[in-house]
Amino acid sequence: MSSPKHTVHGWVVLNKPVGMSSAKAVALVRRSLGGVKTGHAGTLDPLACGVLPIAVGEATKTISYVMTAEKSYHFTVRWGAETQTDDTEGEVTRMSDHRPSVEDIAAILPRFTGLINQVPPIFSAVKFKGKRAYALARDSQRSGRDTADLKLASRQVMIRSFEMIDHKDEETTFSVRCGKGTYIRSLARDMGRALGSAAHVVYLERRSVGRFDIDKSISLDFFEQMVYRARAHDYVIPVMTALDDIPALAITEQEAEKLRFGQSVTLDQRRAEAFRAAGDDTEQDPVTGVAACHQQPVAMVKLTQQNLSPVRVLNI
């Protein structure tokens, strides 16, 4: 009789290749780990490459917290053409003979830095009238209707930093660090219009998601080789690594036991204030974070006044 498989919990930081969907990458990791529950923290389009954090086991309960983390990208824009999808996949919808100079590009970057308004691409996962925008856009194409009739609402996104790192002929490469919900394709489209030209993304690489960096990512081929050598678990990062940016509370074994059974814990004023101070808003209740016992995560929790209650219990 074969021995039972060790259940693994944590994160695989995959360097997704161009041409593969995020769903397929997740499915391959799931199969490699024997069918354990998996999920990713932020979709990468098939034409994009780079960091795709994949949650394994109980780490899937923390995905929503990782998805709010800042992300960074390198991307290349080609000037002179706008497309349906704002990348190379869609048909050209508008052309321009104007090619912006390096000086003009550099001068406009401050307009796209900080809190900006942005309309997502029509081929995106944003919901419009209860359905995904990309599904409605494809339906419009199949029926011969103009996709321009899909008017998505503008929304605010945060661009922490935006730099030009290379410029050659009709293409410019940028480095950007941004907050949740930012579409790089929209950024390229809007820059093209602001510069009196047209633009679309020809290359997109995600460099980081929160604590997960491309320098510490692994290729899918390498991961599958490690599975063959029974060493794949060596490349699963602990759950707590992804939670470094949210408030954490050290709890006792007795408190951990109560949280595991769905019960609340009352903190003294000092511990409650310390936990609250680790959050972004010290005045706002509830404060969400992670409770850990002996550096092992026990539950995602929320604190209201001095009452600590479990949101998601981690069975690790």
Residues taking part in catalysis: 45
Q: Which amino acid is at 107?
A: A
CA-CA-CA-CA torsion for 293, 295, 300, 302, nearest 10 degrees? Answer: 70
Please list, in sequence order, all residues whose beta carbon lies within 8 angstroms of the beta carbon of residue 205, skipping any fewer than 6 positions away. Answer: 48, 49, 50, 73, 74, 75, 214
Please list, in sequence order, all residues whose beta carbon lies within 8 angstroms of the beta carbon of residue 64, skipping any fewer than 6 positions away. Answer: none
DSSP alpha helix (H) spans, the chain: 22-32, 63-66, 102-108, 133-143, 184-194, 220-228, 253-260, 269-277
Report the Cα–Cα distance between both ends of the chain, in Å, rounded.
26
CA dist., res. 265 & res. 78, Å (int): 56
Contact of 47 with 85, CB cutoff 8 Å:
no
Nearest Cα residue to 246 out of 208, 183, 192, 297? 297
Nearest Cα residue to 212 out of 316, 66, 24, 18? 66
Please give the structure tokens belonging to residue 297.
Answer: 């995560």
Which of left, alpha, beta for 159 (phi over 0: left; psi -120 to 50: alpha)?
beta
Distances from the Cα of 238 to the Cα of 117, 212, 275, 278, angstroms: 36, 12, 22, 21
Contact of 119 with 202, CB cutoff 8 Å:
no
CA dist., res. 316 & res. 305, Å (int): 28
